[in-house]
Amino acid sequence: MNILIIDDSSDFRALARSYLVKELDDVEITEYEVERLGKPAGDFGWSEYDVLLLDYNLGGNEDGFDWLKEFSPKPGFPPTIILTAEGDEYIAVKAIKLGAADYINKVDVTPKRLAELVVDATGYRTKRKAVEKEIINHAQQVVYEIHKKHAGKSQKLNFKEGYKIVRLIGQGAMSHVYLAERSEDQLSLVLKILDIQKVSNPITLLRFTREAELIAGINSPFVVKIYDHGQTGDYGFIAMEFFSRGDLKQRMELNLTPEIAINYMTHIAYGLDAIHKVGIIHRDLKPANLMFRGDDSLALADFGISKKLETDSDLTTMGQILGTPHYMSPEQGEGRQVDPRSDLYSAGIMLYELLTGEKPFTANTPAALIYQHVHGDVPRLPHVLSPLQKIIDRLLAKDPEERYQTATELIKVLEDAEQNFH
């Protein structure tokens, strides 16, 4: 079996090679050095490989999805497994829609799991139709059962009549994520289903249902839409908006102008204003959780670790840290209590990155990165962007009392700044 690994990390390529050699017999592995070779030429020999492992984010301006879209129609293009460091269903949906055989978050990669994916992918084309039919039939039966038990409580989610399960796009030990379509208008949506019988920790169920409860009542164009959610004796479910134009992480690779950067941040601030006003802290604000709709509008998504401010008991153990270190506030990094101003700090990190194309703090380990957030100097913008430095200074203040105190306050400052750049 010939396997091609395309990833911009030499360390990960080496790790994947060692895993596959350990688990599979008679395997030949080619590592494609993106950082040196760049984009493959038009006559690249794709047909020489049985399976392709393709990274979603290839560094610089290179995007694995763009490569998949461009090269997959070519004769002999191998079944593809998308690799990503971002573990959310939106990336999974896009991978599957572009024809990938499978998808895996790099943090979930183990020797056995990677080998299983590769083996499954080799028979992907011949088994795809039969497997998809079986998956769809099973999913349709599950959602029909949910609808029957939920009848009278919600008229929005009529899976039997109004929704079509397209295919499975992700799964865990207790949950499945499907791409579905609303029959009346072919609207694509993401459907999460949790098998309650497999949930051993009640906190998992609370997190799942809270993700929907926190945002279902918000009516804002800057926040993901929840079409319906609920729970029966056997299943919990969330039907939510699908975003067709990717995330802010991808946009950041396009060398955005200051005007566009401020515009995006203003939309983010409007989203934060909407959730903060109903008592929600996002707590994992990052570019991969900010999604673009077909009309290019921007919305906050992925509230899986958000919390209600007035909730008496946190869903995390004492001192446990949730979030992404690159965008984490000092107080969150130290495991202290957070409030909406923590989200504003994360927004400041993103604003700096939107303006400069670089993260303000970097380190080799999460602990070292958190140390930078807590103790590092507030970064300086290039001279041409110096009029915006005071916004960065306020957003990235170590002490929450020295930051903007509300998203409403930030919106006004950003709108004034946007006018000054026109």
Q: What span, in angstroms and rounded, lies between the C-alpha atoms of 122 and 49?
A: 10
CA dihedral over 224, 227, 230, 232, signed as positive or negative? negative
**Catalytic residue among 8, 284, 302, 343, which?**
284
Decide if 284 is catalytic.
yes
Q: What span, in angstroms and rounded, lies between the C-alpha atoms of 164 and 159?
A: 7
Scan for tokens 């908006």, then name that residue: 241
Q: What span, in angstroms and rounded, lies between the C-alpha atoms of 298 and 295?
A: 9
Q: Could you list the active site residues? A: 284
